[in-house]
Structure 1
């Protein structure tokens, strides 16, 4: 018996092609696909490419899928190859049954009916009745070749004309209803009305190019402006994408990048302009089923949306939907059109190069997700920043792949600590002057340092000392996180370690949202984290320095460690910023009147005093550490 197409599709989906072909061909990764020497002809330069669901040799022209490869390389018949692959995939081959035979026959009948209807409506577009629709399509910039390629048509007035036209082909009203072309007439038993009338018709095809339904656009003021056919035995709106059959071939051939646009006309205009990888959902938000179909074609599609508020909302919905589905092998990029412009508007005004620039500026999911979540957030207050940080960690936790979730959490929180902190306006350097009331200001006497190292080297060693104390005693971050985030450390290993420490602490201070046990705030766990994120050399650069302060040793007492941390914080923060920090802390003490606020005032006062005395914090020998 003929096997059901859905079974064959499932078998192909469960048979990764690269591992199957890799048993016989040495393959190497080449961008999004694999490359090797063709097993069907003798060649020295690889021209055999393996994609997600097909292979192609550009040398001899051999082309096929998992079933075809098994037949060709093992000398098996079609049925034997199916049995071999089904056994490996754990699939049971469907057994013939009257119900299955009837279902397959009915599906073939529906495809035939839909094809006949499409041809009838395509002919009608070129009659006097369809002239307004043809004029509309030409006014939108579509060529006659494009109109024919997409088989665009005109539905007619809807008074039974379609049924009458198809009746000589033996197509009955019942079949038209099953295909979604008619619907029961209210109050008239056994009578049907056309589903589409007075609409431009867009045939909708499945990934294999078979017509499964239609979309229609009204030319008047009627609502809805766009209308899709109803669900049928061959059409599921949430599983179907407009233009996928054409885009799939263009992407596989390397002619285009898969772009997800918003509607029928966007897809058609993009194809006409040379962007043959364009597809669109059917008037609704993207669904997980549609993303699965897209990822079967390419692992890195681009979602292209309008830059207005509606486009941002659509992007936010899509990012929320797609997070649990992404993996190291499949993701999504986001491109934004200029506000108020569709793809055809942009291309008509500035040419295909303008849309190419939009695609080139597409953001990866992690970057777009942050921007979308930050939109409109009140990040000027501690409460707003804390809520935003919690939401970022929760978003990363929705990713099913735990290693990828960890990477997203780090990337999102790193960016948070780099950008979400309130920026203070630049302050002039502190200059002693007169106090209020005219009393002259007398600075505290300055004690000369024991050894006055070069200024740039001194600051670098102070940076190392602060980081060394933090790395050795990461529990400090419970108290000093906010202050640590304010210090401007040099670019390179210092700033990378600062961002990693803050993100690591934030991820462990938050509620567990990803079903992963959160380790304690100890140095061993921190070391594992830094090693896993490629910062082991940066850590060695800090901890390998000579002359580090006593507070950086593992056996330093907690009070001693805190004193040392705030000491170096003061040197790095600077006098003007410390004065401002101290004034803020004093106001917080008046408001909160708790031990934490009092401790902060004391620590900042001590740090400011040490700075004014001219100390460097390196008097005990840390200045000897090499840069």
Structure 2
């Protein structure tokens, strides 16, 4: 329930809250004089510059300048919304949120769908271990997915619709309606209800709070399509979601040092099993600006590791172009190019954990990929080719907001074009003219 909460209550709540206790329960703090200090959870640093004042009930980072009260901290650190942070602090202080007549209907609708998907996910999980679904566990074994991963990622199986329908229609007809609204079930023109994901392994897609907002389904038979995602709903937007983001966020210290973008569900899970717990997958769609922006808000380093095929190479180049507008001086974009026919899932099974870590370590920086790609069909053998190359690179460089990286890219361009000598000649000519005068 979303209330319009009176300011007087918020002020009272903050006055009853000890911000030091709230933050110290989430991150390690050290007392120095009157204040408490910590490594900032919102940016990478080695020396603690994150200050928490008991007197002012306020936090401030001298490095990235992030600041706020206890509510702000819960919103930024725990990824809660405003109401959730109020509820959290109210619960800790034993205070009751005052009633209000203003209620957000959209919040109610979303909550119902989140609850519905949580319930259906439990049904899917239970299906995995049923005797009649042995072919599912057999398939997961062939993919070398262990029980721990099944639990961590809440992997399940969607079987016959009748089992869901017959069980729940007697107890709760609203549940069936919500399954339709969430896209799990759908009606045809004759009002017959069908299971969208029948006979598919189910991968819950979660937001940063761990709420399931959609599913990815993989057939274990020869059905088309091989992979199927939830349709668009009020809680699920395919282009804005990433698989494995919640698990990554949960299993890494904040701020997260790096994120590895891959293409598939099994890529994420297999990497996770091999102790690489910062892989996330796009949902069968090309990357977009919203995703890049979201990821750069979580980390300063993004590494792309797409499949070793032509589509993977095209996806890498597209990612580079889309990311340009977000390349600040502290933001890093790198690329891993896998051998032909390989993907992260297959290559780590062949090479093992250590060799894959080397691939991550040796990932190609954005700048190197940029020049390599543009020079591929341009030998710079004549002024026309150099002009074309120069225009291409300059158009790309101008889109980058980071001043330092922009400076070095321009310097690299000059080097590639070999025009430093021309500049020297111009300088010499100017000097000669001055002498004559």
TM-score interval (norm. to shorter): 0.7 to 0.9
Q: Which residue of 2 aligns with 1:195?
A: 196
Separation of aligned partners in 1, 2:338 and 2:371: 19
Distance 1:130 1:302, change over 3 A: same
8 Å CA contact 1:393–1:409 kept in 2: the answer is: no
Q: CA deviation at 1:117?
A: 0.6
Matched, 1:303 2:332: no
Q: Which residue of 1 aligns with 2:13?
A: none
Distance 1:96 1:283, change over 3 A: farther
Q: Secondary structure, in 3 states, of the residue corresponding to 1:289?
A: helix
Distance 1:181 1:288, change over 3 A: same
Q: Secondary structure, in 3 states, of the residue corresponding to 2:210?
A: coil
Separation of aligned partners in 1, 2:396 and 2:324: 8
Q: Secondary structure, in 3 states, of the residue corresponding to 1:252?
A: coil
Matched, 1:385 2:377: no
Matched, 1:133 2:136: yes
Separation of aligned partners in 1, 2:50 and 2:405: 38
Where does 1:148-547 land on structure 2 (aligned, <5 Å)?
148-157=151-160, 159-167=161-169, 170=172, 171-186=174-189, 188-189=190-191, 191-253=192-254, 257-377=258-378, 379-399=380-400, 401=401, 403=403, 406-407=406-407, 409-417=409-417, 469-473=425-429
Separation of aligned partners in 2, 1:215 and 1:49: 39
Q: CA deviation at 1:101?
A: 2.6
Separation of aligned partners in 1, 2:379 and 2:388: 9
Counterpart of 1:36 (choices 43, 48, 66) is 48
Q: CA deviation at 1:102?
A: 2.0
Cα-to-partner distance string for 1:359-394 (whole Å, 9 max, x where unaligned): 011122222222233334464454333222211111
Uncovered stretches (5+) of structure 2, i.e. residues with no partner? 5-34, 55-59, 78-84, 90-98
Q: Secondary structure, in 3 states, of the residue corresponding to 1:555?
A: helix
Q: CA deviation at 1:167?
A: 3.5
Q: Secondary structure, in 3 states, of the residue corresponding to 1:36?
A: coil
Q: Secondary structure, in 3 states, of the residue corresponding to 2:258?
A: coil
Separation of aligned partners in 2, 1:127 and 1:293: 39
Matched, 1:66 2:73: yes
Q: CA deviation at 1:261?
A: 1.0
User: Hey, which of these two has a bigger chunk of strand by percent?
Assistant: 2
Q: CA deviation at 1:471?
A: 2.8
Distance 1:51 1:112, change over 3 A: farther
Uncovered stretches (5+) of structure 1, i.e. residues with no partner? 5-23, 43-47, 56-62, 71-77, 83-94, 422-462, 474-550, 559-627
Q: Secondary structure, in 3 states, of the residue corresponding to 1:251?
A: coil
Q: Secondary structure, in 3 states, of the residue corresponding to 1:302?
A: strand
8 Å CA contact 1:251–1:257 kept in 2: the answer is: no
Separation of aligned partners in 2, 1:329 and 1:193: 49
8 Å CA contact 2:367–2:409 kept in 1: the answer is: no
Separation of aligned partners in 2, 1:163 and 1:32: 50
8 Å CA contact 1:154–1:201 kept in 2: the answer is: yes
Q: CA deviation at 1:294?
A: 1.1
Which of structures 1 and 2 has the larger relative contact order (alpha carbons within 8 angstroms, sep 6+)?
A: 2
Q: Which residue of 2 aligns with 1:523?
A: none
Q: TM-score, normalised by structure 1?
A: 0.54
Distance 1:37 1:323, change over 3 A: closer
Q: CA deviation at 1:164?
A: 3.0
Cα-to-partner distance string for 1:93-120 (whole Å, 9 max, x where unaligned): xx9775x532211111111100111110
8 Å CA contact 1:257–1:275 kept in 2: the answer is: no
- CA RMSD after TM alignment: 3.9
Q: Highest CA radius of gyration, 1 or 2?
A: 1
Separation of aligned partners in 1, 2:396 and 2:288: 18
Q: Secondary structure, in 3 states, of the residue corresponding to 2:251?
A: helix
8 Å CA contact 2:51–2:61 kept in 1: the answer is: no
Q: Which residue of 2 aligns with 1:552?
A: 431
Separation of aligned partners in 2, 1:193 and 1:102: 28
Q: TM-score, normalised by structure 2?
A: 0.76
Q: CA deviation at 1:345?
A: 1.8
Distance 1:124 1:26, change over 3 A: closer
8 Å CA contact 1:389–1:416 kept in 2: the answer is: no
Q: CA deviation at 1:54?
A: 9.8
Distance 1:231 1:383, change over 3 A: same
8 Å CA contact 1:252–1:297 kept in 2: the answer is: no
